[in-house]
Amino acid sequence: MRFKEFLTGFLMGALVLSLGWASSLLLSPTVHQQACIENAIAIFSPPAERELVEALGSARESIDAELFEFSSLALKQALVKAAGKGVKVRVLLEPRVDYNIQTASYLKAHGISVKWASREFAYTHSKFAVLDGKKLLVGSINWSRSALTKNREAEVLVESISLAKRFLQVFEDDWKKGSEVTG
C-alpha cells in the first residue's frame, strides 16, 4: 500500500472514530473523496510536546482547535504566543473534563476565544486543530501532560487544504452550537 493511500485511510479513520460521527460520515460523499495531501509528518508521544508547540507556532492567520482534554501549559502558552502575534485563535473544549475549566479560564484571561462544546454528543472527544485553513493536526493525542509524556499516542500534521476545509466545516458547526465560557 502506498503511503498516501495509507495516510488518507488513517485520516479518514481518525475522523470517523475521534469525532464520533460514524453513521453520518459514512453516508456523506465527502468521506469517499480523495484528499490531496501535500505534506504529512507523523508525531508520536512521548515526546510530542515540542513538535506540537512548533506546529502551533507555524500558524500565521488562524488556529481552530477542538479538544477533549487540554491541560498542557506549554500548549496553552503556544496559543497565547500565537494570539500575541495576531493569529486568530479559537478553542472548543469538552465541558465535562475538569482540567478544561482551568484551561478555559487561562485562555480567556489571555484574550483567546473559548467555548464549551455542545452536549449534543455523549462527549466531544475530538483532538484536532486546523492551522491557517490548510494544515491539520489530528490523531489520538489529548493536549494533556499524560498524553504528551506518558502515553503512547499518535498524531499527524497534514498539509491538505481539502482535509483542513472539511475539519473546519465541522469545527464551525460545533462552534455555533457551543456555549460561551463564563467566569
User: What residues act catalytically?
Assistant: 125, 127, 132
Residues 168, 17 contacting (CB under 8 angstroms): no
Widest distance between CA atoms in the chain: 51
Residues 178, 170 contacting (CB under 8 angstroms): no
> Which is nearest to 116 in space by CA: 50, 168, 68?
68
Reduced to 3 states (helix: H, G, I; strand: E, B; else coil), residue 14 is helix
Residue 14's Cβ-side half-sphere holds a number of Cα atoms within 13 Å equal to: 23
Decide: residue 130, CB within 10 A, 0-12 exposed, 13-18 middle, 19+ buried: buried
Residues 82, 142 contacting (CB under 8 angstroms): no
Residue with cell 486546523: 130
Cell of 3: 503511503
